[in-house]
Structure 1
Amino acid sequence: MKKFFCSLFGHHYTVSKKVTLHIKEYKCIHCGKQVTTDVSGNLSTLTPELQDINKTLENIFQKRHRAAEHAA
């Protein structure tokens, strides 16, 4: 029933994880479909490969952010 709702009205995504300032992961509140922003800013299905890429980007972003805080 939930997938039918999404196929009829479209997905209703909410942010499930902020990877960096520009890259986020989203999840549909109705059917649970997960997507992420790609390099062009478009939404792409969150595959295991993209999850690994996002995790790596998040680690790099956090290290740089911590280093910038210590330098200030």
Structure 2
Amino acid sequence: MKNTTSPKGNFFSALFCNLFGHHYVVSRKVTGHIKEYTCLHCQKQVTTDASGKLSALTPQMREINSALQDMYRKRSGRMVQNVA
């Protein structure tokens, strides 16, 4: 039997998303207000941009989110140490 799955999901899942829209779930929390989402059906990945809207998760955006997450973790770690 021929395998019809692709990196972005299978044909029927993509068709479902085209008809009814994507069903995004949070795949990674970058900061308190920036998150990365993945569609359950077609595996499309998006992230929130500077204006709060969803945009495609490109390699450049993934790198920016990683750097932002590192800075956010370091800053929140310092804030916790200063309070205690």
Please give the range of the TM-score, normalised by the shorter of the 2 chains: over 0.9
Between the aligned residues of both structures, percent identity stands at 54
- Of 33, 38, 63 in structure 2, the residue corresponding to residue 27 of structure 1 is 38
Is 1:39 matched up with 2:27?
no
How many Å apart are 1:50 and its aligned residue?
A: 0.1
TM-score computed with the length of structure 1 as normaliser: 0.99
Count of aligned positions:
72
Structure 2: unaligned runs, 5 residues or longer = 1-11
Secondary structure of the structure 2 residue equivalent to 1:32: coil
Q: Which amino acid aligns with 2:81?
A: H
How many Å apart are 1:65 and its aligned residue?
A: 0.4
- Report the aligned-residue RMSD: 0.3
Q: Which of these two proteins has the greater Rg computed from alpha carbons? A: 2
How many Å apart are 1:63 and its aligned residue?
A: 0.2
TM-score computed with the length of structure 2 as normaliser: 0.85
Match of 1:69 in 2: 80
